[in-house]
A and B are shown apart, each in its own frame.
Chain A
């Protein structure tokens, strides 16, 4: 019982510390231009998602690359493959979202 209480207390502290971000959905937007894919990750009020993990998958769900967002929520990379790219932002604590860059958009952005 003591352990359970302790666990709850820890959980409470962790949840409190994460503050307002809990109520906010995380978003990622991406576009391709001149051979580069530009991504930006943000909360609905426009705040950047800092140090979020970005993972890029091809249409067969194969992980192509991953990286971290900077202080402005940005993460850019060279087009890894002409394919539909699923780009996932993982901001921790279950804050995840994805953006699909269509194959035609990747092609147009070469």
Chain B
């Protein structure tokens, strides 16, 4: 009887704790130094690959990705070997965590979609592995071709809105695909990257639901969200993989996310 009470208390305490501190949303992130390259710009992009809580600016340790490349002119180029490890942290984290960085030279016009498939991340708090297939698109020299093409990842967001040259307040519409097929009523989490370069006004969410915005897709897997502030925005559609991975000899579920990043700027 006593044990039951103790167990019940622990469960209740855990419930209260979780209710007060919801597990923050994890986001794969691929953030380039620029989303539009013109002839006057530096033609070398710095691209950073991270695993973070974008609103809270928290970093998580990220192993070298399984796959990293760029899709341009209908062709994929493997860039995994160019990634170099770097360290970062939020102001309130007391240790630094690994992220990945590369410099990429833009040589031709067109859209460049950078994509990453990370190494599965074990999340003890959720008792599962997390794999976020993440993409971002950079336009070069005014040729707006390629942004709406499929890269062919296990799960991915296909932008229905051209994903660059977006104003603050614009609606971003995308379609969630899993194995190339739309995911009806997919849940999509959205966060603002507080660490956006040049963001002098760090957003302090007045309550937890403001940290991660949530929208649901329609029957065709199509969702929309209007972005209220200038900077980088991450869209993450989560699904459970049909496959499992082993952790300490036990089979564990895998959360696979399709993540897409876009940048908005103020009209002025």
Contacts and interface: CB of A to CB of B under 8 A. Distances in A.
A associates with B: yes
B53 to A, nearest CB: 36
B108 A29 contact: yes
A42 B39 contact: no
Nearest to B107: A31
Nearest to A97: B142
Contacts of A27: 109, 141-143
B107 A42 contact: no
A100 B39 contact: yes
Nearest to B39: A99
B144 interface: yes
Contacts of A46: 110, 143-145
Given A99-B39, A100-B39, A44 B142 contact: yes
Interface in A20-79: 25, 27, 29, 31, 40, 42, 44-46
Interface residues of B, number: 10
Contacts of B141: 27, 29
Nearest to A38: B108
Contact of A44 (B39, B108, B144): B144
B121 to A, nearest CB: 37
Contacts of B145: 45-46
Interface string A1-31: 0000000000000000000000001010101
A44 B143 contact: yes
A71 B39 CA distance: 24
Interface of B: 39, 107-110, 141-145
8 contacts: A29-B39, A31-B108, A42-B109, A42-B142, A42-B143, A44-B143, A45-B144, A46-B145
